[in-house]
Amino acid sequence: MKVLVTDPIADAGLERLREAGHEVVTDHDAEGDALVAAVEDANALVVRSGTEVTADLLANAPELQIVGRAGIGVDNIDIDAATDHGVIVANAPEGNVRAAAEHTVAMTFATARSIPQAHARLETGEWAKGEFLGTELRDKTLGVVGLGRVGQEVAKRLGGLGMDLVAYDPYIGEERAEQLGAELAELDETLERADVLTIHTPLTPETENMIGEEELARLEGGYVVNCARGGIVDEPALAAAVEDGVLAGAAVDVFAEEPLPEDSPLLDVDDVIVTPHLGASTAAAQENVATSIADQILSAFLGEPVMNALNAPSMDAAAFPRVKPYIGLAETAGRIAVQLFDGHVNEVEVEYAGDIAEEDVELVTASALKGVFLPIESQVNAVNAQEIAEQRGIEVSETKRSQAEDFTSLVTATVHNDDASVSVCGTLFAGEDPRIVRIDGFRVDAIPGGRMIVSRNTDEPGVIGLIGSVMGEYDINIAGMYNARQTIGGEAMTVYNVDQEVPDEAREKLEEDPRVIETRYISLEDE
């Protein structure tokens, strides 16, 4: 088999492919027509961020089985086109976990002890010993936003140095947090208690500018360390907070715009340390991602499961057509359930009823988990969803029953913790048209998609009119409405499909009315 490598990767990965008997061709300068010609007879393509894997390129690669990204980000790969052409897309999300965690620890010490600033002064001939009074980390509180793979490794390292740990992560079980020695808390409490705040979440619509001026003010006298993704922390607000003395310092490795512009306010503040996205820049990390991709290519060539595949379902080919329509339905049910839920998730239950209960539904369950984890794991897929659940200490259960009420098949995703749960039940009309037919105890008939508002309110005249008026006031068009109630005059639920994003102010205005118990904005957009 021919493996084409168009971006530099560590030799260890190339050697592993050669030792397995495959032809490895490196062409780091190929672009345009030369790249198309080079990939025409390739069975595997290995890239980093420099090569754009477009639909046109894939269309000219009839022998291609797999595209391997030696790293985590796949923005340069057209995954939909790859799927259309039957090409697996795989990445290496684990390879740089240790490197990113260690860089975070290094940046924490650097800002707490002003190491770069002291070095710079000494280089100019100044012995400024009396001007740098550092902060000892022992017995201080580390606030961790995001207890995923990297966040857990940072917590282990700094917790082992004597720091107390408090963490904000709605998607990790309390038992797993306790194993790490961390106390779970809401974001505001985490900020108020932290002496050092470290951030380890992906950049999503939910996390963009999550840490802004208001949040930074709650960290008064503390430090901020961001080695996760640019755009999570409001950079001008961070620079101002450090310059004004609200924060003692900050250390930043990732930026909303990279390379960092020369006019960035972060560059003008002495107590802000910046590094040029070095989190994964270790020899070991680069070797790890290279060998990981090599191993996945070898698995693809052998017809074995590709563990970090982003687009490759794994099940019996004959059964797949019967199950395929339920994959998207289960993911949607999971996405809606977790956005309706308020609290830390420690259990996800997926129930199958009717004809679908007779099928192999492992992939469908994984898709429901994917929907639950999408807000906090940008790299989640049907292959790694179960693993993410295990890492986060979330129990996953799967149940089946032969009867499905008035439907041929039903799929229900339920998210739990010790105090509450939310269930979302879906079916397929005419075998392929998805519908949400029950949310908790309310029978609805909602078309899932785009943007939605779910309202819980008292069942009395004028509420629907109120919601329509407020939506109109904010220029939000209602595309569809589905109303349900359990008893006359009791509690009702209404699901609205809307064409525009619903701002918090609109929801707050609705909830000022005593008849409106709660509203939730649901986004099923692929941002």
**125 vs 11, 113, 119, 267, CA distance in Å?**
42, 19, 10, 22
- Residues 372 and 113: their CA atoms lie apart, in Å, by 40
In this structure, what token pair is assigned to residue 184? 């779970």
- Residues 42 and 22: their CA atoms lie apart, in Å, by 11
Domain boundaries, the chain: 2-93+284-301, 97-274, 320-523
DSSP state of 138: T
97-274: same fold as 2-93+284-301? yes
Other C-beta atoms within 10 Å of 322: how many? 14
List 433's β-bridge partners, or say none: 429
90 phi and psi angles, rounded to 5 deg: -130, 150
Tens-digit pLDDT profile for residues 400-416: 999 887 899 999 999 99
In this structure, what token pair is assigned to residue 266? 């972060």
**How many whole angstroms from its chain centre is CA 472?**
32
- For 21: left if phi > 0, alpha if psi spans -120 to 50, otherwise beta; the answer is left
pLDDT in single tens digits along all 527 residues of the chain: 999 999 999 999 999 999 999 999 999 998 899 999 999 999 999 998 889 999 999 999 999 999 999 987 787 899 888 887 888 899 998 888 999 999 999 999 999 999 999 999 999 999 999 899 999 999 999 999 999 989 999 999 999 999 999 999 999 999 999 999 999 999 999 999 999 999 999 888 889 999 999 999 999 999 999 999 899 999 999 999 999 999 999 999 999 998 999 999 999 999 999 999 999 889 999 999 999 999 999 988 987 768 788 887 555 657 778 888 898 999 999 999 999 998 889 999 999 999 999 998 988 998 999 999 988 776 677 667 887 898 899 999 999 999 887 899 999 999 999 889 999 999 999 778 999 999 998 999 999 989 999 999 999 999 999 999 999 999 999 999 999 988 888 999 999 999 999 999 999 999 999 999 999 999 998 75
Sign of torsion, CA 171 176 181 183?
positive
* C-alpha closest to that of 150 among 78, 72, 223: 72
* C-alpha closest to that of 339 among 481, 142, 475, 206: 206
- Contact at 8 Å (CB) between 85 and 67? no
**60 vs 64, 95, 118, 259, CA distance in Å?**
9, 30, 55, 33
Tracing tokens 């029950």 back to the chain, one arrives at: 438
Looking at 3.40.50.720, 3.90.550.10, 3.10.180.10, 3.30.70.120, the CATH number of the domain 97-274 comes to 3.40.50.720
409 phi and psi angles, rounded to 5 deg: -145, 150
- Contact at 8 Å (CB) between 498 and 478? yes
Sign of torsion, CA 115 116 119 125?
negative
Q: In what order do the strands lie in the sheet with 88-90?
A: 23-26, 2-5, 44-47, 66-69, 88-90
331: CB partners within 8 A, 6+ apart: 367, 368, 370, 371, 374
417 phi and psi angles, rounded to 5 deg: -140, -170
* C-alpha closest to that of 264 among 240, 245, 229, 246: 240
Burial class (CB in 10 A: 0-12, 13-18, 19+), 212: middle
Provide, rounded to the nearest whole percent, the portion of the chain with pLDDT above 90. Answer: 76
490: CB partners within 8 A, 6+ apart: 458, 459
Looking at 3.40.640.10, 3.30.1330.90, 3.40.50.1370, 3.40.1280.10, the CATH number of the domain 320-523 comes to 3.30.1330.90
- Residues 109 and 1: their CA atoms lie apart, in Å, by 48
- Contact at 8 Å (CB) between 326 and 409? yes
- Residues 289 and 295: their CA atoms lie apart, in Å, by 10
Tracing tokens 């200490």 back to the chain, one arrives at: 393
Architecture of domain 2-93+284-301: 3-Layer(aba) Sandwich (3.40)
482: CB partners within 8 A, 6+ apart: 444, 445, 446, 494, 495, 496
Q: In sequence order, what DSSP letters do the residues of 167-230 get, joined into one string?
A: EE-TTS-HHHHHHTTEEE--HHHHHHH-SEEEE-----TTTTT-B-HHHHHTTTT-EEEE-S-T
Task: Give catalytic residues, as residue numbers.
Answer: 229, 258, 277
